[in-house]
Amino acid sequence: MTTRKQVFQLLFKNKEVKQGDIVTSLGLEKSTVSRLFSALHKEQFIVLIRELAAGKQGGRKTNVWALNPDGYYGVGIQVQPASITFALVDFVGTIVTTSHVSIGDWNDLAVLYRELKKHTRHFISSCKKSIIGIGVALPGIIDSENGVIVSSAQYAQWNDIHLAEFLEDAVGLPVIIENNMRAAALAEQYLGLGQDTAHFFCIGVDAGVGLAVVADNKLYRGANGCANDLHIAVNPAGPQCYCGRKGCIEAIVGNHSLIQRINDPSIQTVDDIYAAVVNNNAVVKKMLWEAGAYLGQIIAHLVGLFDPEKIIVNGSVLKMGTEYLDVIRLAYKQHMYDMHGTHPPIHESVLGDRAIITGAGMLGLSPVLF
């Protein structure tokens, strides 16, 4: 990692830093740090917050620096079934503006390329900001290093797609693609409940179920980039899954599957499911509680494998109400083995449904920041 990126990460984590602390933290000469900060200030990456007077023992004044929110920006793109969300994220990770567009069938690769190219160009031109890069978060097995969608259980035609290269050619900016839950974990690590936490994992429920693991402060990818693949069968007698098997966790817990299985014309969205729970719809509650029990069981198994300090849940699970979360937590405790009386807690993401798109925007900043 370059010295610049080390400085940026210290500033990102601590919000503001004394110039002298950089000398100590990175083991650099004072003159080197002085020249570096002068250059970063001139390039508008950082801003001077204040000057601290010299101490009673004498010496020089100390400058206190912070990242410049309005200096440079990243664009985040979240690909979802039949829609794309765009976000402009400033240099401290705050979402400035968003745009949401509905599109056709993602299984048609021509549609994927055409719509992504058109709407990305339009969004960038509308922002009128200095943009460093673009981050794209989407479901599936992602080779982030090479910018390739390896495969996706949800989209049969998504195999060996060089999406980053295509989008770079289309807009002329660096593009980083990543699995959607890993993008969420990045946002949690720097802006959410994962701050100052070396070991945690994120589990998200929307159309499917996703996982991202942070171990020793690093995203864990596995040997083939498949460490986030939580598409596993939990009940051989369960509902049919789009992958061809029965009883996959996504077929039990995922939004689309739940809505199909409820089979009620008045229930077409996650909000409709929650309204049915509030109205004490017995059929919906039974199905949802069953889903929550399986999810809690899966979380218990994951804790046994990864030994995290905390678990962070996000996605539509946060829209189902506290009763549903209570069911998940109860099942988790029932299936958890004895860890000397301690069980890492399940937390609701403070970033809510913006975790993935925020992480995608931070990926857009990564050519400079990370």
pLDDT tens digits, 250-273: 899 988 889 988 999 999 988 999
What pLDDT does 55 receive? 58
pLDDT class for 108, splitting at 50, 70, 90?
confident
- Residue 57, pLDDT > 70, answer no
Residues 6+ apart with CB under 8 A from 295: 203, 205, 209, 249, 253, 317, 328, 331
- Residue 368, pLDDT > 60, answer yes
Q: What is the mean pLDDT of residues 143-155?
A: 87
Nearest residue to 129 via CA among 94, 178, 164: 94
- Residue 56, pLDDT > 60, answer no
What pLDDT does 53 receive? 67
With contact defined as beta carbons under 8 Å apart, do 365 and 332 qualify?
no
Rounded Cα–Cα distance for residues 275 and 224 (Å) = 41
- Residue 234, pLDDT > 60, answer yes
- Tokens at 66, concatenated: 């912070």
What pLDDT does 32 receive? 93
What pLDDT does 341 receive? 62
Q: Looking at the chain, which residues constitute the CATH 3.30.420.40 domain(s)?
A: 73-185+355-369, 197-348
pLDDT class for 224, splitting at 50, 70, 90?
confident
What pLDDT does 143 receive? 92
What pLDDT does 168 receive? 97
CATH superfamily, domain 197-348, is ATPase, nucleotide binding domain (3.30.420.40)
First-residue to last-residue Cα distance in the chain: 8
For the entire predicted model, the pTM comes to 0.92
Q: Which CATH number, 3.30.420.40, 3.30.428.10, 1.20.1300.10, 3.40.50.10470, labels domain 73-185+355-369?
A: 3.30.420.40
225-227-228-231 Cα dihedral, nearest 10 degrees = 110
Q: Looking at the chain, which residues constitute the CATH 1.10.10 domain(s)?
A: 3-67
pLDDT class for 337, splitting at 50, 70, 90?
confident
Provide the CB-side half-sphere exposure for 135 (13 A, CA).
33
Q: For the chain, state the CA radius of gyration.
A: 22
User: In a 3-state reduction of DSSP, which class is residue 99?
Assistant: strand
Least confident of 53-67, 194-208, 210-224, 323-337: 53-67
What percent of the chain is modeled with pLDDT above 70?
96
Q: Which CATH number, 2.60.40, 1.20.58, 1.10.150, 1.10.10, labels domain 3-67?
A: 1.10.10
User: In a 3-state reduction of DSSP, which class is residue 270?
Assistant: helix
Q: What is the chain's mean pLDDT, rounded?
A: 90
- Tokens at 283, concatenated: 């059929």
Residue 123, phi then psi, degrees to nearest 5:
-65, -45
